[in-house]
A = this chain, B = another copy of it.
Amino acid sequence: MARKSLVGVVADELLDRIISGEFPPGSSVPGELELSARHDVSRMTVREAMKTLEAQRILSVERGRGTFVNPLNRWSSLEAVLRAASEGQNGPAAAVQLIELRRMLETGACELAAQRITDTELDSLRDCVADMRKAHHGNDVVSFVAADLAFHDQILQASENVFVAVLFEPLHRVLEQGRTETSKVPDIQEHAIGHHQKIYEALAARDPQQARNAMDAHMQQTLSDLRSYVLEA
């Protein structure tokens, strides 16, 4: 079961203690010796755990002084920030903020893609929509989600902006599960197909503004889907 390395466990536990507020930003975390005693591991293991948190800018290690917690806005790990932001009753608020972020990136990428997309990529998009239709009629949720993701991935790639793709990747992972849930509802599937179709048409027309608006409508729909899904839960 526990397939994680000791380093990962220690890093996770330490991050949990940080997120729980035990070590607020600016304060110092216990020394390596103390942590190695607490978790019953060697000092090297603690050091490697610290290094992973330091690489994510969650901790700042200062030689001779100690190790300190950085303020949240310095963290470079979306996942860690998500964990921190979802603490307590902030889960729904964090989810909304994630969708807002996704909206910015996807609408922006879509606008760029309209100016740069190739015919081959357009064909690929058309195929994705066709796959979504087929999966919809066949009640194949897994294939539906796969085609949905492929569609958005293709647009990201067509935007020819590496950085957008990089920033979007962690979002991809985080939003994946929720997507599968909402995609189970047939009505939502139909909505999605319609929106994707319109996005495709706008891209085929190579009209940046229209592409942006089409994607924006899709995102708004997703947000409202999420709201109703979260409310009933």
Contacts and interface: CB of A to CB of B under 8 A. Distances in A.
A9 interface: no
A105 B108 CA distance: 9
Contacts of A199: none
A41 to B, nearest CB: 15
A81 B7 contact: no
29 contacts: A5-B63, A47-B48, A48-B51, A52-B55, A53-B55, A55-B55, A55-B56, A72-B162, A73-B162, A73-B169, A76-B78, A76-B169, A81-B162, A81-B163, A81-B166, A85-B162, A85-B163, A97-B163, A97-B164, A100-B108, A100-B112, A100-B161, A100-B163, A101-B108, A101-B163, A101-B167, A104-B104, A104-B109, A107-B108
A74 interface: yes
Nearest to A7: B51
Contacts of A55: 51-53, 55-56
Contacts of A81: 162-163, 166
* Chain A interface, >50% SS class: helix
Given A78-B166, A104-B107, 11 more contacts: A5-B63, A44-B44, A51-B52, A53-B55, A55-B55, A56-B56, A73-B165, A76-B170, A85-B163, A98-B163, A104-B104
Contact of A76 (B47, B73, B76, B161): B76
Interface residues of A, number: 44
Nearest to A54: B52
Interface in A19-37: none
Contacts of A53: 55
A77 interface: yes
A157 to B, nearest CB: 9
Contacts of A170: 76
Contacts of A108: 100-101, 103-104, 107-108
A104 B48 contact: no
A167 B169 contact: no
B97 A162 contact: yes
A106 to B, nearest CB: 9
